[in-house]
Amino acid sequence: MSEFQVTARKGKWIVLLVITLVTAGLLSPWASPHPDGLERVAKDHSFIDQAGAVHEWAPIPDYEVAGIPWTAVRVGLAGVIGAGIMAAVLWVSIKGLSSRRGKANAQSHGDGEGRL
């Protein structure tokens, strides 16, 4: 039986995921409108006008989902999508690391089942 199990209480993880997505959706519209990171450096050193157009295939240009008339909803949805993508990446990473650990334990114990 090689079942992936982070914890016996899956409900806890579902509640944490829902809280994360709701928080991302509700708080994203109130993020600071002032530039940060590379955009801030470009503005401080007066080369921000040299920036090219956003690529047409950018999934969420300027952290807003296109086609929605309300700014708060556009930005909030972008926050939910970003948090969802991060949750998926973390889940896959944890699952991959856990399965490697299970295989290593199975080889060291010689049982061949890979239990965690």
pLDDT digits (tens, 9 = 90+) for 14-24: 888 899 999 98
**pLDDT mean across residues, the chain:** 79
Q: Is 49 a domain residue?
A: no
Find, among 6, 2, 28, 19, the residue nearest to 104 by Cα.
Answer: 2
Q: Is 40 a domain residue?
A: no
What are the CA-CA distances from residue 37 to residues 42, 86, 91 (Å)?
A: 9, 20, 28
Q: Is 27 a domain residue?
A: yes
pLDDT digits (tens, 9 = 90+) for 35-71: 678 788 888 898 888 877 777 788 888 788 888 999 8
Structural domain of 116: 10-31+61-116
pLDDT of residue 6: 57
Q: Is 1 a domain residue?
A: no
Q: What angle do CA 66, 69, 71 make, to 5 degrees?
A: 80
CA–CA gap between residue 53 and residue 59 (Å, rounded): 14
Q: Is 36 a domain residue?
A: no
Q: How many domains does the chain have?
A: 1
Is residue 101 scored above 80 in pLDDT?
no
Q: Is 93 a domain residue?
A: yes
Give the pLDDT mean for 66-88. Answer: 91
